Chains A and B, each alone.
Chain A
Amino acid sequence: KQEVTQIPAALSVPEGENLVLNCSFTDSAIYNLQWFRQDPGKGLTSLLLIQSSQREQTSGRLNASLDKSSGRSTLYIAASQPGDSATYLCAVKPAGNTPLVFGKGTRLSVIA
């Protein structure tokens, strides 16, 4: 059974810092991995989707990497801003007709 773990559970950094959020999964047989952002009381916004054949994806100040063999993904946020404060969720799409498996998220606070 696929399990997804995100560390740390919460993170507080000063504005301007570069930071890394970690996601690990137990079964390397995945179709893709997706990073989401969730603001308090809101739905999920898709940030980046990495197919199993890819190593990384970039969007603006965000870069996500995937190491399928070791069961790890990282989300790198450059030059963090207070507007980046949110919960970041990692989700894995296992191979086969199985649903997305989510981690519990990392709650990020960027202090001005």
Chain B
Amino acid sequence: EAGVAQSPRYKIIEKRQSVAFWCNPISGHATLYWYQQILGQGPKLLIQFQNNGVVDDSQLPKDRFSAERLKGVDSTLKIQPAKLEDSAVYLCASSSSVGGHEQYFGPGTRLTVT
């Protein structure tokens, strides 16, 4: 079975520019997660979707970050405008449902903001 796909793998932008990341979860997985991982830290959840509805976005900086999962399959995460502190790896994960089901991660997108 195909894993979680993410693109692009790397992105370098200047501060105040905008950027978007794309994720396609494992086929049939209803739950999709976006995480931010700063160098030397564990991943931090930004937003969780169940199908096309938001379950948890309490840690998403909503003044600059947005995410959508319009058809309940793939998802995009956008940052506008970017700040230096947004430099991180953005990981997408999926699971078969909410709760304690095992999460499967994509390869991540490494964002550098200069």
**Residues in chain A near residue B41, CB distance under 8 A:** 104
A45 at the interface (CB under 8 A from B): yes
B103 at the interface (CB under 8 A from A): yes
Q: How far is the CA of A42 from the CA of B91 in the complex (A)?
A: 9
Distance in angstroms from A34 CB to nearest chain B CB is 7
**Residues in chain B near residue A45, CB distance under 8 A:** 105
**CB <8 Å contact, B105 and A104:** no
Please choose the segment from B11-19, B76-84, B106-114 that sits at the chain A interface, where 4 or more of its residues have CB less than 8 A away: B106-114
**CB <8 Å contact, B40 and A99:** no
A60 at the interface (CB under 8 A from B): no
Contacting A at CB under 8 A, from B4-63, are 4, 6, 33, 40-45, 48, 55-56
Q: How far is the CA of A59 from the CA of B103 in the complex (A)?
A: 17
B65 at the interface (CB under 8 A from A): no
Interface 1/0s, chain A 31-68, versus B by CB < 8 A? 11010100001111110010100000000000000000
Distance in angstroms from A14 CB to nearest chain B CB is 25
**Provided the pairs A41-B110, A44-B91 are in contact, do residues A103 and B102 lie with their beta carbons within 8 angstroms?**
no
**CB <8 Å contact, A105 and B102:** no
Interface 1/0s, chain A 75-105, versus B by CB < 8 A? 0000000000000010101000111101111
Distance in angstroms from A36 CB to nearest chain B CB is 8
Q: How far is the CA of A62 from the CA of B98 in the complex (A)?
A: 27
A110 at the interface (CB under 8 A from B): no
**CB <8 Å contact, B42 and A103:** yes
B binding-site residues for A, Cβ under 8 Å: 4, 6, 33, 40-45, 48, 55-56, 91, 93, 98-100, 102-108, 110
Given A51-B100, A89-B43, 15 more contacts at CB 8 Å? A4-B42, A31-B100, A34-B103, A41-B110, A43-B105, A44-B91, A46-B103, A91-B42, A97-B55, A97-B98, A98-B56, A99-B33, A100-B103, A102-B44, A105-B42
